Amino acid sequence: MTHRTSAETGITPTAPGFPDVSESAIERVQTTIIDWFAATARPLPWRAEGTSAWAVLVSEIMSQQTPVSRVAPRWSEWLERWPTPADLAAAPTAEVLQRWDRLGYPRRALRLQEAARVIADDHDNQVPDTAAALEALPGIGAYTAAAVASFAHGERTTVLDTNVRRVLIRVFAGRDRPTVSPSRRETVWAEQFVPATDHVAWNAGVMEFGALVCTARSPKCEECPLADICAWNLAGRPVSASKPKTQKWAGTDRQLRGAIMDVLKAAHAEAAEAGDRSTSVVEGVSVAESSSAADGSSVVEGAASAAAGRRSAATDAVAVDLFTAPTADLDDECLAALGPATSVKLTTMRDLSADADRISRLIADLVTDGLAHRSGDRLSLPR
DNA sequence: AACGCGGGGAG
DNA sequence: CTCCCAGCGTT
């Protein structure tokens, strides 16, 4: 029996935004979602019988802000390469970032390896089985901790991702979309919807329901089994006035950081390709000042040689230069002459003209963040 | 609470 | 083009 307050007792006023909900409505929605999930759940690879808790944890980290369709291939490769936390803990970080591929937010890969080391060292290589213990690990917040505890261990937790929040807000609060991040009050409010039994099916089901039916962009209300009870639908699906402004991408620091990481990965791959097994890698990015390339021609030469890579006789290293030249100076013909690793990204950089200062700052940030390693004027993926 | 952080695919 | 995606950590 759920303890209720507010309307029934008159002691606590119903909080605006997170209204009190009747027991019958809760039970109706729970049953509908759980039945719907049993009938229509996608066969995601990490839902297969026998998936280890570690594999579930990896899937959750990879899925943070990344569509599951892009996660699946990387997830399979990771688990084949690093079947347990100890395997990942012992891996070279350069390889970890390389195999993270283009999932985005590569810092997640670093945090995942850190978590693996904590699990291997402090938890006997076993993924913690409570949300509280999981949340203490690097890169694991409230959502991921609850999800892993529920899906991998069967703990009754409140899983509150963007999908769940949207479903609950629409069905029970009649609003279009949740706020940017869940408040403490919303989290407490959401707990009442998790059933005493079948909570794993509820957690997975309501998340899946938000991903497939109650979607953000074009919700499929015509085929929604909750259409008759959904407060948002019954209210005529009002659209909230202001939405959070979208983040720019072209020309931003984030894009440039990604471009630098691309260069480092390409250099790393090229060094590996060259069979440099003993020293393992030697990659580098040297930041060249562009002031001497005002006429443009030397910029092209420099860029071309950078794309081709440069082999150092002394170390058999591959060096890649990242130039700070204005992209405007590179016409299409010149860009076509560039190698794939550098040219593609640099062409989309709007104001790379900016400055060596900017690139230097971002490189320093990457080193600080642990995404790059600096040795003299050479930059590489971290060991 | 607000911000920074990647990258891609759908509308 | 804009929006959105199984968020987290820092300020």
- pLDDT tens-digit series, residues A211-270: 999 999 999 999 999 999 999 999 999 998 777 778 888 888 898 899 889 888 887 887
Residue A279 domain-assigned? no
Residues A213 and A269 grouped into a single domain:
no
Residues A202 and A328 grouped into a single domain:
no
**Residue A377: is its pLDDT beyond 90?**
no
Active site residues of A: 60
Domain that holds residue A63: 23-235
Separation of alpha carbons A348 and A172, rounded Å: 44
Q: For residue A173, give the nearest of A243, A233, A241 by alpha carbon.
A: A233
Residue A127 CA to its chain's centroid (Å): 20
Residues A39 and A135 grouped into a single domain:
yes
**Nearest residue to C2 via alpha carbon and C1':** A246
Q: How confident is the model at residue A341 (pLDDT cuts 50, 70, 90)?
A: very low
Nucleotide with minimal C1' distance from the CA of A258 is B6
More confident residue, A276 or A80: A80
Please state which of the ranges A83-87, A170-174, A293-297, A368-372 shows the lowest mean pLDDT: A293-297
Residue A5 domain-assigned? no
Mean pLDDT of A331-354: 38
Separation of alpha carbons A300 and A158, rounded Å: 56
Residue A159 domain-assigned? yes
**Residue A60: is its pLDDT beyond 90?**
yes
Residues A263 and A178 grouped into a single domain:
no
Asked if strand B contacts A257 at the CB level, meaning under 7 A, the answer is yes
Residues A205 and A325 grouped into a single domain:
no
In chain A, the number of structural domains is: 2
Please give the model's pTM, rounded to 2 decimal places.
0.84
List all residues 6 or more positions away from A138 whose beta carbon is below 8 Å from its beta carbon: A111, A114, A115, A118
CB of A65 closer than 8 Å to CB of A107: no
Q: How far apart are the first and last CA of chain A?
A: 55
For A313 and B4, how far is CA from C1' in angstroms? 40
Separation of alpha carbons A281 and A269, rounded Å: 9
Alpha helices (runs of H) in chain A, residue ranges in sequence order: 23-40, 53-63, 68-81, 85-89, 93-100, 107-122, 131-135, 142-153, 162-168, 184-191, 199-212, 231-234, 253-273, 297-308, 332-337, 340-347, 356-369
CB of A258 closer than 8 Å to CB of A351: no
The listed range with the strongest mean pLDDT (A28-37, A312-321, A347-356) is: A28-37
**Residue A291: is its pLDDT beyond 50?**
no
Residue A117 domain-assigned? yes
For A303 and C4, how far is CA from C1' in angstroms? 35
pLDDT at residue A329 in the model = 42
Mean pLDDT of A78-90: 98
Bases of chain C within 7 A of a CB of the protein: 1-9
**Residue A110: is its pLDDT beyond 60?**
yes
Please state which of the ranges A15-24, A131-140, A229-238, A274-283 shows the lowest mean pLDDT: A274-283
Residue A283 domain-assigned? no
For A102 and B6, how far is CA from C1' in angstroms? 8
The CATH number of the domain where A153 resides is what?
1.10.340.30
Report which of residues 147-206 in chain A place their beta carbon less than 7 angstroms from any atom of strand B. 180-181, 183
Separation of alpha carbons A272 and A279, rounded Å: 10
End position of a domain, from candidates A235, A264, A282: A235
Residue A92 domain-assigned? yes
More confident residue, A105 or A270: A105
Kindly compute the dihedral angle of the four CA atoms of residues A77, A80, A83, A86, in this order, to the nearest 10 degrees: -70
The residues that bridge with A320 in the sheet, in sequence order, are A285
pLDDT at residue A297 in the model = 26
More confident residue, A106 or A278: A106
